[in-house]
Amino acid sequence: MDLSDLIEVPAIMPALKANSKKQLLQLLAERASAITGIPEREIFDTILQRERLGSTGVGNGIAIPHGKLGGVEQISGVFARLETPIDFEALDDQPVDLVFLLLAPEGAGADHLKALSRIARVLRDADTVAKVRGTRDATAIHALLSETQGSKAA
């Protein structure tokens, strides 16, 4: 599974401004709604409910909020590079500046976990992360996230 299968250029926000975790999740839900056609409130409530179980801030300035929704037809994502890092209650207590929102159909099961694993693997690549942090171009970010796939075995 390639990240290019999960995210398209219009789903990338390369210079997002958010002042709080809640505002960030609202902005991600807004973009995800525009892409999936699912009501923004439904997406926001789902990812907020997941965050209440424990932060999806995985460390190194990266968060992977995610959730399963009934109206989602295929696993899809929204990526944001924040202008200014924000507190996300991450595992390492570091502020977050790269966020990959993942939405999956309710019955996705193992595919949802595979997608989360793939995102985590790509965002653990220090070179890729440094390049993503260094650009404000959505097409370039999409290429960086996608090209990491080919050089590493799944």
For residue 39, the SS3 value is: coil
Cβ-contact 137, 14 below 8 angstroms: yes
The continuous run of DSSP H or E covering 102 comes out as strand 96-105
Q: In this structure, which amino acid lies at residue 118?
A: R
Q: Which one of 66, 81, 112, 142 is the catalytic residue?
A: 66
CA 85 to chain CA mean position, Å: 15
Q: In the annotation, is 66 catalytic?
A: yes
Cβ count near 11 (within 10 Å): 22
- Which positions are catalytic? 66
